[in-house]
Structure 1
Amino acid sequence: MKQLVFGLFLASLLISCKQNTEKQNLEPAQIKLTNGHWFNGNTFSEQTVWVKGGTLSFNQENAIADTIIDLSGTYVIPPFAEAHNHNLESEYGLEKRINAYLDAGVFYVKHLSSIKKRIDSLMYYYNKPTGLDVSLAHAPLTATGGHPIALRKRYLEYGYFDGLFNTLEEIESHGYFIMDDEAHLQKKWEQVLSFKPDFIKINLLYSEEYQKRKNDSAYFGKKGLDPDLVPAIVSKAHKSNLRVSVHVATAHDFHVAVTAGADEIAHLPEIHNGKPIDPEDAQLAAEKGIVVVTTASLVTKNKEKPKYNQLLANVRSNLGILKEARVTLAIGSDMYNDNSVGEFQFLHSLDLFSNLELLKMWCENSATTTLPYRKVGHLKEGYEASFLVLDVNPLEQIKEVSQSISLKVKQGVILD
């Protein structure tokens, strides 16, 4: 009965708030929320919380609220995030993808490469209280013939870039930057910055075979930067106050990125190869505060292969090595037709992480690596008033947590 009453109240509240926000140009009202259990990073505690000016306050006892919401013993957590995807650049089916994110409580998406000329016209969907917040790298850095040049070539041939580019050469410096040496880095860096990226994405693939693959056309699209150039790129980015996210394929790529001082590893290494990562590299990553984005469910693309069970076991083992070293893990899927919900469910199925660990990975770590300069990912004084209200305690029941959302608030605005 309590849930029914709460549901009826929310329905009327949403209508009221929608009318109010339309009149006030979506300016958040001052809201008082009572009888809710709020996540503090370790457990839940019953609190009265105020939302004012789009931020949270826990110390407004005498404040006058425009709206009072009785949360009736429900549970409040930060929103979820998607720390690795590429599916917000195309207008085709875009609103469906956006709604899938928001319906699941995913408010923040890290977009790990895009063509600025292509995504600019879609930016009105993003970075507003009623939409997704996105972080963009734009063109990634790679070597001649490296990833993602083969992908760009294929999409050009499919006609995806009609009206933007006519040749592959025209895509260079929009869909990727070729950086073969420090001379390239010095020459092209200002152009990289001119796109105003939120972070720098660089591609390492099979760096232990860099010399072997460098001039061999058989490896077109299956190679990346010179590993010796990575420290200079990281240094250059940090001097420009930009974090560096590194696409990796192998354990050696992981080693190169960690020792170079990158800020984020965009993939769990060895998903498709089945080799272990070095525990010493994992320990160094933890000491440097490097975030590793899981993308572990990509292993399911190998389901039809005879070695699938071995690959799956290796994914679990490598995640275990990172967990043991206390590396910060964030949830990202890199699944174009999905989002971090599927990745979360895959990680849950491995029976490797506790409910608390999974919750922190999805709410806290994924949000802070996506939007590191904003007050998101935590329910604290002065942080953005973005949160999800759940009918269940996720520390006890987390498997279908995205389906137990009864209220979504983003920057103080109640989402319909």
Structure 2
Amino acid sequence: MKNTILWLVLTLFLFSFQPKTPDPQPKSMSMELTNGRWFNGHTFEQRTVWVNNGVLSFTQGNIQNDTVIDLTGKYVIPPFAEAHNHNLESDYGLEKRIKAYLDNGVFYVKHLSSIKKRVDPLLHHYNKPTGLDVSWAHAPLTATGGHPVALRKRFLDYGYFDGLFNSLEEIESHGFFIVDTEEDLNRKWDQVLSFQPDFIKINLLYSEEYQKRKNDTAYFGQKGLDPNLVPKIVSKAHNDNLRVSAHVATAHDFHVAVTSGVDEIAHLPEIHNGKLISAKDAKLAKENEVVVVTTASLVTKNKKKPNYEQLLANIASNLKILKDAGVQIAIGSDMYNDTSAEEFKLLHSLKVFDNRELLKMWCENSATTTFPNRKIGFLKEGYDASFLVLNTNPLDSIEDINDQISLKVKQGTILP
């Protein structure tokens, strides 16, 4: 009865905590959290945890608490992340999209390409205790006529860039960088860095047919970089302490990316083609600590095709190849209306991973590939005091995990 009353008091406090106007610099709270079961990467341990100056502590020290919260045996996990999306560049419906992320317990988003000129006016929404934390690639590197040139042209024709650009030529070096030669790379590299990207995005598409597609306008938007340039790009990025994320389509793209030393594969390969990746390449990805982001939900664009079930089965097979090799897998959707929550549900339905593996993929791997230099993704001493409190044990039942969230804390700030 005592625990029930304490939880009711906390719930009433949460509702009263919501300010009428946003606090531009909210202060994190000092808390003592009792009777919670905290995820340690393997199981849940019951312990008392303290929050001070936005970080976690497992020893009380001299912390003066603003409040004591009885978690009444509930389950505490790190927040979720979306390791691949593009839906935070426009102000259209932005508040609704941010709310959807936070409502689902997704605190971190990796934005795989954007136009910095378009994003700059929106940055006040991000990277603060009450908002999403976002890492940015900005303009990706591609070849003449490669992805995402066709996509940018389409958006230009739709009028999405009115007031920013009048032609596709003006978008170049804002929405993409054309790199056809090593000379292009050297000449444009300082401009790439001028956007202050958090990581470098490169586009490899059908690299096994690079020569065939290179000058054929029939493949406009369906091609990418010269595979021979990829090691040179990776070397320049690493010299500037930037990780490289590679958009891939095929198993050969995966091979080129892994052997070239990229840090992340932005898509599971062969989502639309239905071929297997090489177990040897998967083993090399493990050895080189390459992270693979799932984006399996993209297969749903093929739902009306007769081979849809075969494509799903192939996705499961490729995920199992990666799992068996020990590759670190992160959850990202690349779906404009997703927050990685639907991607998680699809992965759960494939029955490749157990509940613990799925939890670690979404909480740990997705967060650390989004912000590799931050203390997030784990509930450890000195790490960000960012966590979710669940009503039920996700190791027992995980399919409705988003519905089980009863408390969200980000950097010591209780979210409504």
C-alpha contact (below 8 Å) 1:258/1:284 kept by paired residues: yes
Q: Superposed, which structure 2 residues align to 1:40-189 within 5 Å?
A: 40-60=40-60, 63-189=63-189
Q: 1:103 to 1:24 in 2, by over 3 A?
A: closer
Letter in 2 for 1:254: F
> Distance in 1 between the 2:118 and 2:143 partners?
23
C-alpha contact (below 8 Å) 2:298/2:334 kept by paired residues: yes
Q: Deviations over 1:108-132 (max 9, x none)?
A: 0000000000011011110000000
Letter in 1 for 2:87: N
C-alpha contact (below 8 Å) 1:2/1:72 kept by paired residues: no
Q: 1:403 to 1:267 in 2, by over 3 A?
A: same
Does the residue aligned with 2:289 lie in a helix, a strand or coil? Answer: coil
> Distance in 2 between the 1:132 and 1:274 partners?
35
Q: Superposed, which structure 2 residues align to 1:360-399 within 5 Å?
A: 360-399=360-399
User: Which residue of structure 2 lines up, in the alignment, with residue 228 of structure 1?
Assistant: 228
Letter in 1 for 2:339: N
User: Which residue of structure 2 lines up, in the alignment, with residue 260 of structure 1?
Assistant: 260
Q: 1:6 to 1:221 in 2, by over 3 A?
A: farther
Q: Superposed, which structure 2 residues align to 1:209-228 within 5 Å?
A: 209-228=209-228
Does the residue aligned with 1:11 lie in a helix, a strand or coil? Answer: helix
C-alpha contact (below 8 Å) 1:81/1:363 kept by paired residues: yes
C-alpha contact (below 8 Å) 1:204/1:248 kept by paired residues: yes
> Distance in 1 between the 2:402 and 2:3 partners?
17
Does the residue aligned with 1:222 lie in a helix, a strand or coil? Answer: coil
User: Which residue of structure 1 lines up, in the alignment, with residue 276 of structure 2?
Assistant: 276
Letter in 2 for 1:402: N
> Can you give the 5+ residue segments of structure 2 that lack an aligned partner in the other structure?
none
Q: CA deviation at 1:4?
A: 5.5
Letter in 1 for 2:183: A
Letter in 2 for 1:193: L
Does the residue aligned with 2:151 lie in a helix, a strand or coil? Answer: helix
Which stretch shifts more, 53-62 or 243-252? 53-62
> Distance in 2 between the 1:405 and 1:146 partners?
42
Q: CA deviation at 1:217?
A: 0.4
Letter in 1 for 2:48: T
Q: CA deviation at 1:7?
A: 4.6
C-alpha contact (below 8 Å) 1:243/1:263 kept by paired residues: yes
> Distance in 2 between the 1:361 and 1:273 partners?
25
User: Which residue of structure 1 lines up, in the alignment, with residue 311 of structure 2?
Assistant: 311
Q: CA deviation at 1:74?
A: 0.2
Q: CA deviation at 1:23?
A: 8.5
> Distance in 2 between the 1:62 and 1:72 partners?
24
Q: Deviations over 1:85-144 (max 9, x none)?
A: 000001111111100000000000000000000011011110000000000000000000
Q: 1:22 to 1:150 in 2, by over 3 A?
A: closer
Letter in 2 for 1:59: T
> Distance in 2 between the 1:107 and 1:94 partners?
15
Q: 1:165 to 1:23 in 2, by over 3 A?
A: closer
> Distance in 2 between the 1:211 and 1:147 partners?
16
> Distance in 1 between the 2:4 and 2:149 partners?
54
Q: Deviations over 1:159-185 (max 9, x none)?
A: 000000000000000000000010000
User: Which residue of structure 1 lines up, in the alignment, with residue 415 of structure 2?
Assistant: 415
Quick check: 1:294 aligned with 2:294?
yes
> Distance in 1 between the 2:415 and 2:98 partners?
13
Q: 1:198 to 1:24 in 2, by over 3 A?
A: closer
Letter in 1 for 2:8: L
Q: 1:129 to 1:24 in 2, by over 3 A?
A: closer
Q: CA deviation at 1:337?
A: 1.2
> Distance in 2 between the 1:3 and 1:224 partners?
58
C-alpha contact (below 8 Å) 2:7/2:71 kept by paired residues: no
C-alpha contact (below 8 Å) 2:7/2:70 kept by paired residues: no
> Distance in 2 between the 1:2 and 1:400 partners?
28
Q: 1:161 to 1:349 in 2, by over 3 A?
A: same
Sequence identity (%): 72
Q: Deviations over 1:364-402 (max 9, x none)?
A: 000000011110000000000000000000000100101
Does the residue aligned with 2:37 lie in a helix, a strand or coil? Answer: strand
C-alpha contact (below 8 Å) 2:179/2:185 kept by paired residues: yes
> Distance in 2 between the 1:139 and 1:395 partners?
39
Q: CA deviation at 1:310?
A: 1.1
User: Which residue of structure 2 lines up, in the alignment, with residue 11 of structure 1?
Assistant: 11
C-alpha contact (below 8 Å) 2:52/2:63 kept by paired residues: no
User: Which residue of structure 2 lines up, in the alignment, with residue 243 of structure 1?
Assistant: 243
C-alpha contact (below 8 Å) 1:7/1:406 kept by paired residues: no
> Distance in 2 between the 1:49 and 1:61 partners?
11
> Distance in 2 between the 1:93 and 1:3 partners?
40
Q: 1:22 to 1:194 in 2, by over 3 A?
A: closer
Q: CA deviation at 1:339?
A: 1.7
Letter in 1 for 2:327: V
Quick check: 1:322 aligned with 2:325?
no
> Distance in 1 between the 2:129 and 2:47 partners?
24
If the length of structure 2 is used for normalisation, what is the TM-score? 0.97
If the length of structure 1 is used for normalisation, what is the TM-score? 0.97
Q: CA deviation at 1:230?
A: 0.0
Letter in 2 for 1:214: K
Does the residue aligned with 1:173 lie in a helix, a strand or coil? Answer: coil
Letter in 1 for 2:297: S
Q: 1:256 to 1:52 in 2, by over 3 A?
A: same
> Distance in 2 between the 1:4 and 1:67 partners?
17
C-alpha contact (below 8 Å) 2:385/2:410 kept by paired residues: yes
Q: CA deviation at 1:292?
A: 0.1
> Distance in 2 between the 1:73 and 1:123 partners?
38
